[in-house]
Amino acid sequence: MPMSHKVMKQKIKRRLKGKVGKEKQAELHRIIEELPNYRSGPYADLRKSLNEEIQQQNKRAKVQHKDTLAVEKEGHFQMALVGAPNAGKSALLKALSRKQIKVADYAFTTLKPIPTRVDCGGLWIQLVEIPGLIAGATEGRGGGQALLSVAANADGLMIAHDLNANPQELNIILTELSKTKLPQPLLIVYTKVDNPDAESRLRAVQTRFSQFKSVAVSAEQNLHLEALKEAMRASTGLIRVFPRSNQAGSKPDEKPVVIPIDSTIEDFARKIHKDIARKLKHAKVWGSSVKFPGQQVGKGHVLSDMDIVTLYTT
């Protein structure tokens, strides 16, 4: 004779008390196993409500999972770094920042997206390593879907390809990515250029994938990392412009104003303060957007990366 369902309910409540997450799930399953198997009546209702509770728990776990994967945007631009396992992504993150990142000689060392700050001369790129992308990622294999959605949320994308690896690997990644709505621009970083034969392999892949901008680096030997940073910076479509006050002998600010490429003097002024933009008369510019240093220009003058600007207001 089974105990009354009211007593059973009390007992279940006690068994679940203080349990959360996986532990609660396991206990719920055990309780359901132990319930008398009536098709209808209070015990059947009890079974149903316990099953619903399990489903709720599952949903919550999924949401939590998503939350832990998402990477909050920081800096001027978020760039996802994707590539096959062992492509050298973590080593690159470490070399481009001062962050201590686990680099290991086996696949899937990194399981969650890892953000790091890369300083491109005052323009901050938040580079986010997306753990090893493999064939079938778009079908959700290896948690690929969730990770791809992190990449899809970024402002730009960089693919790492190990020069020792089969170029087919890069082809697979490009195919997987082409099935999704991933952000452009797209930049390829060829890694481990310090290895023997890397140079000739590099020429081969650069010819085969010539439609993409690319840089070859060695994270281990610190080769061409500055060139990579500049390529990353250029791919953001953002430029750095340094304000200089109109007081005689003053130096340009150390921190640039970061604005989109093709911005004008007026855009730059607006970024500093809308009152300044309103009172703006003209400006003087030092840098590649002008013919000679200190050239006077109007509001509509289009600025270049690394220009120095002094604004004059009424």
Ligand X SMILES: Nc1nc2c(ncn2[C@@H]2O[C@H](COP(=O)(O)OP(=O)(O)O)[C@@H](O)[C@H]2O)c(=O)[nH]1
User: 198-208 and 167-178 helices cross at what angle (nearest 10)?
Assistant: 30
Contacted entry of Mg ion, ligand X, none for residue 194, CB cut-off 5 to 8 Å set by kind: ligand X
97 interacts with ligand X by CB under 6 A: no
Q: Considering the rule CB under 5 A, would residue 236 count as an interface residue with Mg ion?
A: no
Angle CA(197)–CA(203)–CA(204) in degrees, nearest 5? 90
- Does position 110 bind Mg ion by CB under 5 A? yes
Structure tokens, 178? 């082409």
* Cβ atoms of 161 and 92 closer than 8 Å: no
Q: Is 292 helix (H, G, I), strand (E, B) or coil?
A: coil
Shortest Cβ 110–ligand X spacing (Å): 5
Q: Does residue 113 belong to the site contacting ligand X (CB under 6 A)? A: no
Q: What is the CA radius of gyration of the chain?
A: 28
- Decide whether 78 or 191 has the Cβ nearer to ligand X: 191
Report the partner that residue 310 touches, choosing among Mg ion, ligand X, none (CB closer than 5 to 8 A by kind): none
User: Scanning residues 54 to 83, which ones bind ligand X (CB under 6 A)?
Assistant: 83
Q: Which of 116, 126, 191, 289 binds ligand X (CB under 6 A)?
A: 191
Site for Mg ion in 80-109 (CB under 5 A): 89-90
Q: In this complex, which beta carbon is closest to ligand X, that of residue 32 or of residue 202?
A: 202
Indicate which of Mg ion, ligand X, none lies near residue 191 (CB less than 5 to 8 Å, by partner kind): ligand X
- Give Cα separations from 201 to 19, 170, 191, 193, 205 (angstroms): 56, 13, 11, 9, 6
Residue 167 in contact with ligand X, rule: CB under 6 A: no
Task: Say whether residue 194 binds ligand X (CB under 6 A).
Answer: yes
Q: Which of 78, 110, 126, 289 binds ligand X (CB under 6 A)?
A: 110
How many residues make contact with ligand X (CB under 6 A)? 21
**Residues linked to residue 257 through DSSP beta bridges, in sequence order:** 241
DSSP assignment, residue 196?
A: T
Residue whose CB is less far from Mg ion, 92 or 311: 92
Shorter beta-carbon distance to Mg ion: residue 107 or 234: 107
Q: Are strands 238-243 and 307-313 parallel, antiparallel or unpaired?
A: parallel
Query: Does residue 116 bind Mg ion (CB under 5 A)?
Result: no
Q: Is 116 in the site for ligand X (CB under 6 A)?
A: no
Binding-site partner at residue 105 among Mg ion, ligand X, none, CB < 5 to 8 Å by type: ligand X
The Cα–Cα gap between 208 and 134 comes to 20
Token digits of residue 64: 């939590």
Q: Does 103 bind ligand X (CB under 6 A)?
A: yes
Helix (H) or strand (E) holding 42, with range, is: helix 42-69
125 pairs with which residues across the strands?
77, 118
Question: Looking at 24, 32, 213, 220, which residue binds ligand X (CB under 6 A)?
Answer: 220
Alpha carbons 314 and 274: distance in angstroms, whole number: 14
Least distance (Å) between residue 28 CB and Mg ion: 36
- Work out which of 77, 80, 90, 201 binds ligand X, going by CB under 6 A: 90
Ordered DSSP codes for 47-66: HHHHHHHHHHHHHHHHHHHH
Question: Does 144 help bind ligand X (rule: CB under 6 A)?
Answer: no
Q: Which two tokens stand for residue 248?
A: 């005689």
Question: Which residue in 154, 83, 146 sits closest to 115, CA to CA?
Answer: 154
> Which parts of this chain interact with ligand X (CB under 6 A)?
83, 85-91, 103-105, 109-110, 132, 191-192, 194-195, 218-220
